[in-house]
Amino acid sequence: MSTLERPEIRPTGLLTQAWAIARRNFLHIRRMPEMLMDVTIQPVMFVLLFAYVFGSSIDVATPSGYRAFLLAGIMAQTVAFASFIVAVGLTADLEKGIVDRMRSLPINPAAVLVGRSISSLAHSSIGLVVMSLTGLVIGWRIHTNLFEAALGYLLLLGWGFAMIWVGIWVGSAMRSVEAVNGVMFATMFPITFLANTFAPTDRMPTFLRVIAEWNPISALTQAVRELWGNDQPLADGAALPMHHPIPFTIGWIVLITAVVAPLAIRTFRSRTAD
Amino acid sequence: MTRPAIEAEGLVKHFGDTVAVDGVSFVVPEGSVLGLLGPNGAGKTTTVRMMTTLTRPTSGTGRVAGHDILADPAAVRRSMGLTGQAATVDELLTGRENLRLIGSLYGLDARYIKRASDELLERFSLAEAGDRIAKTYSGGMRRRLDLAVSLIATPPVLFLDEPTTGLDPRSRVELWEVLRELVSDGTTLLLTTQYLEEADQLADNIVVIDRGTVIAEGTPLQLKDRSGAAALVVTVSNGPDLAAAEALLRPHVREVHVDVGARQLTAPAEGLGHMTRVAGIFDESGIVLDDIGLKRPSLDDVFLHLTGHRAEQRPDDTGDETTADSAEEMAR
C-alpha cells in the first residue's frame, strides 16, 4: 500500500547530533546578534566603567595598574554568566516544546544538552576575545609566556564548562525565562562581585574577606592574574585558595561539575520525562 | 495490511496523586486513522506522550510499528513522527532550516534532505515562504511547517496532538486535505482532537476518552447510532401552518415534538420509506415546507449521551489551547 519513498535513517553519533543542535544555536545568534550583548557590550561597558569611573579610587599594586588587574576579574565574571545563557536558552526550548520535539527523534537524549554546551562555550570564547581586545586597547598585557597565557584561557573555559552545568540545572528547574532571569540575577551578580574580581579583598571586613577569598571565582581570578603576570603581592592573612589558586581552581571546576552535573541531569530528566 | 501499526495496552499514568490516564487500550490498523476524542484534561496528550516515548507509563505498554515503547524506544522513534500541541517549529530558523535541522538529526543524507524539503514545502504551500524565518509565518503556516518537519523522514506512523487547535476554519480544512493525502499514501495516523467534527471528518475509528479512561469506541457511524435513533425533522415555511402540519403528521408517527420558534416538528424516524411516505402526504396537503429530512445525532449529542456532560467549547476561542496546556501541565 505504501507508495512513499522511505529514506534510510542512518544511526548518527552523539557528537554529530550535538553539532547539528549547536549549529542551530549559532543560527539563532546570527538572526539575533543582540544575543551576544552579554559577552560584548556588557563586559566592555563594565571594563570602561570600572577602569575609568571606580578604578581611580581602587588602589592596587600591580605593575600595570588597576586596568590590568581588572581584566581577569571581568573575564571570570563574563564566563560565569555562561550559566545564564545556557539556562535561558534551555528554558526557552523547554517552554516552546523544542526539547520534546528533539526527544521524539531517534537521537541520544543528551544531544540537546551537549549541543547547548558547545554553543555556550563558543559564546564564552567570543566574550574572551572581545575582552582581550578591549584589554589591549586600555593597556592590559600578558607578561608571561605562551604556555601560561594559554593555561589562563583554558582555566577560564574550564570554569565556563562547570557553569554550563549550573545553567542546565537552573534551566531545567525553572518554568519560565523570566524566572531564570530573576534567579540568575539574584545569585550570579552578588557571587561574582563578592570576590577579588573588581577590588582587592584585603581591605574588606574580615568576615566578608573570608567569604570572598574562598569564593571559587576568586581562585579563578587569582589564578588567571598569576598566569598572566597581572597579580599583586598577596596581602597578609590571605586565605589558602589565594596561595594556591591554580590547583584550587581546577579543584572547584571538578567539584562543581561532579556535584551539579548529576543534579542537572536528574532535574532535566524529571522535567522532560514526566 | 491490517496488522496493527499502533497498539496501546492498558496505559496508566500517574502524576503524583493525579491519575491522568487510567488504563487506555486501543489498536490502530496500518493505514487507518484513529481519532482520540475527549475534552480538555481527558488524558489525550499524556496518552500521546507515552506512545511517542516522551513520557514513561506508570504501567501498561504499547507498540508502534511493532516496536515496544518500553523495550525499544529508539526503534519507535525511528518509525514515527510527532506534531505536538503547540507548533514546535524554531521561530528563528527559516522553514527550510527547520527541515534541515530535523532531517540531519534523523541522520538523513544532505542531498535527500534538500530534495525532500523542496517537495514538502511545495506540498504544504510553503515554497515561497521557505526561506523566511518561521516567526513571520501565520498560525496555519506554522502548523503546516510543523507537520512538514514531522514528515521529513517519511515515518510510517504519525501522531498529531490537536493538529488544528487555534486555526481558522479555512486553514483547518486545508490541513485536513493534507492529512487525507498522507493517509491515502499509506501513513497511519493517530490524532487527538476535541473537535467532534474533526474526528468525524478524518477518523476511521474513534476512541472517546474522558477522565483518563476509554468510555466508547467505534466508527463515527457506530458512535452516532449508539446515542439513539435518528429523528425525522419537518420544517414548515410559514409559522401559522405548524398546527395543521402537526395534525397531519401525528397519525403517522409515535410522538411529535413541536418547536414553534424553529417552525419545526421532530419525530422518531422509522426508516427512509417512512420518510418518503410522510413527504408525499405533505406534498398532497399543500402545506409548504422548507425542509424534510432525517437527522442523525451529532457527535456532540454522542458525547453528551456518553459522559453526561457536554464536550468542551469549540475551537474558535483562542483561549482553549492554553487551557488544554495548563490542565495537563497542572496534572504533571
Which chain A residue shows the shortest CA-CA distance from B187? A2
Q: Give the H or E element holding residue A12.
A: none
Q: Provide the 8-state DSSP code for B328.
A: H
Q: Provide the grid cell at B229.
A: 435513533
Residue of chain B whose Cα is closest to the Cα of A21: B101
CB–CB contact A100 B54 (8 Å) = yes
Which chain A residues contact residue B91 at CB under 8 A? 96
pLDDT score recorded for residue B255: 84
Q: How far apart are CA B43 and CA B11, in angstroms?
A: 11
A133 and chain B in contact, CB less than 8 A: no
The mean pLDDT of B60-69, rounded to a whole number, is: 95
pLDDT digits (tens, 9 = 90+) for B1-37: 467 999 999 999 998 889 999 999 999 999 999 999 9
For residue B160, the distance in angstroms to the closest alpha carbon of chain A comes to: 12
Contact predicate A246/A223, CB 8 Å: yes
Q: Give the residue-averaged pLDDT of A239-244.
A: 90
Q: Are A61 and A230 in contact (CB under 8 A)?
A: no
User: What is the spatial distance between Cα B183 and Cα B156, in angstroms, rounded to a whole number?
Assistant: 10
Interface contacts (A, B; CB < 8 Å): 105
pLDDT score at A72: 93
Q: Confirm if B53 and B77 have CB atoms less than 8 A apart.
A: yes
Give chain A positions within 8 Å (CB) of B15. 274
Alpha-carbon distance A162 to nearest alpha carbon in chain B (angstroms) = 27
Determine the Cα–Cα distance for residues B181 and A110; give it in Å rounded to an integer: 35
Distance between CA atoms of residues A26 and A120, nearest Å: 10
CA A200 to mean position of chain CA atoms: 22
Place of cell 563594565: A46
Considering only CA atoms, which of B79, B106, B148, B105 is closest in space to residue A112? B105
Q: What are the cell numbers at A136? A: 589591549
Residues in contact with B127: Cβ distance below 8 Å, sequence separation at least 6, in sequence order: B118, B121
Reported as a single tens digit per residue, the pLDDT across B83-96 is: 887 778 999 999 99
Give the gap in angstroms from C-alpha A44 to the nearest C-alpha of chain B. 27
Q: With an 8 Å Cβ cutoff, are A27 and B93 in contact?
A: yes
For residue A159 the three cell numbers come to 570554569
B265: alpha, beta or left, given left = phi > 0 and alpha = psi -120 to 50?
Answer: beta
The length of chain B is 332
Instruction: For each of the domains in chain B, give its residue range(s) and CATH number, in order of start.
Output: 4-224 (3.40.50.300), 229-295 (3.30.70.100)
Alpha-carbon gap, residue A261 to B25, rounded angstroms: 38
Query: Within 13 Å and on the Cβ side, how many CA atoms surround A91?
Result: 23
- Percent of all residues in chain B with a pLDDT value above 70, rounded to a whole number: 90
What Rg, from alpha-carbon coordinates, does chain B have?
A: 24
CB contact under 8 A, B54 and A106: no
* B105 vs A1, A8, A20: nearest CB: A20
Could you give the residue ranges of the DSSP H alpha helices within A174-244? 177-193, 206-214, 216-228, 240-243
SS3 content of chain A, % helix, strand, coil (to 5): 75, 0, 25
Query: Using CA atoms, how far apart are residues B173 and A24, in angstroms rounded to an integer?
Result: 32
C-alpha B324/C-alpha B330 separation (Å) is 10
In this complex, do B80 and A104 lie within 8 Å of one another by their Cβ atoms?
A: yes
Chain B CB contacts of A27 below 8 Å: 92-93, 97
Q: Which of B284, B274, B240 is nearest to B254 (CA)?
A: B274
CB contact under 8 A, B88 and A101: yes
Look at residue A25 in the predicted model and tell me its pLDDT. 92
Q: Quote the strand ranges of B138-252, DSSP E.
A: 157-161, 188-193, 205-210, 213-218, 231-236
Percent of residues, chain B, with pLDDT higher than 90 = 43
pLDDT, tens digit, 9 for 90 and up, residues A40-75: 888 899 888 888 888 777 777 776 688 888 999 999
Burial class (CB within 10 angstroms; exposed 0-12, middle 13-18, buried 19+) of B328: buried
Q: How far is CA A204 from CA A74, A196, A213, A235, B275, in A?
A: 19, 10, 10, 12, 97
pTM: predicted TM-score of the whole model, two decimal places: 0.79
Domains of chain A by residue range: 15-273
Judged by a CB distance cut-off of 8 A, whether residue A1 touches chain B is yes
Cβ–Cβ below 8 Å for A27 and B85: no
Q: Do A6 and B156 touch (CB under 8 A)?
A: yes
Which value does ipTM take for this structure?
Answer: 0.83
pLDDT reported for residue B314? 37
Give the separation between CA A216 and CA A157, rounded to whole angstroms. Answer: 14
Please state the φ and ψ torsions of residue A14, each to the nearest 5 degrees. Answer: -55, -40
Give the three-state DSSP class for B212: coil
Higher pLDDT: B280 or B328? It is: B280
- Alpha carbon distances (Å) from A59 to A67, A141, A199, A208, A209: 11, 19, 8, 19, 17
Determine contact, residues A155/A147, Cβ cutoff 8 Å: no
